[in-house]
Chain A
């Protein structure tokens, strides 16, 4: 018995060491950090313990800007991308020809490097001395006036960020929804057809309820993902997000940790824990709502 126990743990040991050192210990430590006031990473000293770090972060205008940006991003991209993905998936599952080709193409953004492709979006939207950029030329074509989406007004930058975020998250949502749609038994549709059910009614009364668990799964993961937005913003606006007014909560955490404004792990920890609390709350609310609305 003793030998058996030892053997089990032996197999588990590598995983346990890695997880212990890089997940469990940090998880505890981050809370410790967040309560250590005035922690100095060079001398590894701190003045005292308390809630000062939280209060500092919550009064930091950069943090408030980051929260505002993140909230706008979440509120715009989650419903929009989920809805759009639903439309595309429904369209995809109603065709036979070229379906695999479309699915393959739609999945491409998932396997691309967010930072690298972000640069392409940047040059498409950016206004330079040489050219107004393709998007602006299009706008001018339709009689609008050009805007610098990368260094220009706030709403324009937010628009690009949302657009790029949606472009990046769509593959996952389309994939999940098309497989959810494919798993709905065909006989339900046959039954509805024999009963002369109009298409929109089949969709709202049969398809939607049947795939509602997956839609809620996507909404929950979408919220979590959008709250953690960071690299998309870096890809578009560069590493100095505070200067671009486009920082996100996660960006704020990393800026506190490292870089020109860095060296404050305590503030970073406090901000990370605030983020975690927000995400946890929203996920719980989502779960409560979904209990009421998701069928079976």
Chain B
């Protein structure tokens, strides 16, 4: 009899503890969620406040009753935000396209072809993964300058193309395709290039998409190289463009217009992320790092 009472007490206390634990867990998760989301909310909010009302608020209000799109108009007319966006788009698309071709060919060679020196070259490639960008940027800067390619798309794109990690990622995926498929295609007289195009690329499409998305994110956010290689605002990308806007654009005080520019720059990647959420997160988990 006494034992049954004891059991009930245990049940009650475990239940209470579980509920308390859940409350703490959800509260802290929501807290961090707010910390993450708040800057986004703030930039959206500020971007729709009018210049006058923003500067009149000593204590900034957390909402606005008279949203305006004037700041977005300013962002595209007063400063060349449209130019920056277009430049970034061109830069991102061309870089990603060249990267895709180069990476696919190299991954195919490593995964499928037999040739002398393959292992040595592959080891060299793996070793290159560990080389920090900071070491090679210096010479690239002088080479591009000496070639007279500053303030050109060519100068922006060329050193940004290669990513050893993506070659490695794709090679691993290619290598999983059974050899039998290749031999069968050989017996049918299929050329290597055709086999690559008709068999390997379709099978490895998910990895290719992941690589493309990661590269797009990387290009869209790249700052160091564009900053070094361009000083003509006609060739600015969004990252150094926003820095230019901040320092010389609207004048330091027009923060709502600046926030409108920030929103415009951030939205494309956020939309891309929301569409390809699973692929991006899986791709990053497999070995991406920021920067």
The residue from B59, B266, B280 contacting A117, defined by CB atoms under 8 A apart? B266
B180 at interface (Cβ–Cβ under 8 A)? no
Q: Which residue of A lies closest to B99 (CB)?
A: A18
- Asked whether B42 lies within 8 Å of A113 as measured between CB atoms, the reply is no
- Asked whether A11 lies within 8 Å of B106 as measured between CB atoms, the reply is yes
State A16–B162 Cα separation when bound (angstroms). Answer: 9
State A238–B249 Cα separation when bound (angstroms). Answer: 13
Interface string of A97-135 (1 = CB under 8 A from B): 010001111111111111111011101100010111010
Candidate in A120, A265, A269 with the most chain B CB atoms within 10 angstroms: A120
B280 to A: closest C-beta gap in Å: 7
State A235–B259 Cα separation when bound (angstroms). Answer: 13
B56 to A: closest C-beta gap in Å: 8
Question: Interface residues, chain A, CB within 8 Å of chain B?
Answer: 4-9, 11-12, 14-16, 18-19, 21-27, 29-30, 33, 41, 87-88, 91-92, 94-95, 98, 102-117, 119-121, 123-124, 128, 130-132, 134, 137, 167-172, 175-176, 179, 199, 221, 224-225, 228, 230-231, 234-235, 238-239, 250, 253-254, 257-258, 265, 268-269, 272-273, 275-276, 279
Question: Interface residues, chain B, CB within 8 Å of chain A?
Answer: 21-22, 25-26, 28-29, 32-33, 35-37, 39-40, 42-43, 46, 55-60, 101-103, 105-106, 108-110, 113-118, 121, 125, 128, 131-132, 134-143, 145, 158-159, 161-162, 164, 167, 192, 217, 220-221, 223-224, 227-228, 238-240, 242-243, 246-247, 253, 255, 258-259, 261-262, 265-266, 269-270, 272-274, 277, 280-281, 284-285, 288-291
Given contacts A123-B255, A276-B132, 18 further A-B contacts (CB under 8 A): A4-B115, A16-B106, A19-B125, A30-B138, A95-B25, A95-B26, A108-B270, A111-B272, A112-B221, A112-B266, A116-B242, A116-B262, A234-B243, A235-B243, A239-B227, A257-B137, A258-B227, A272-B137
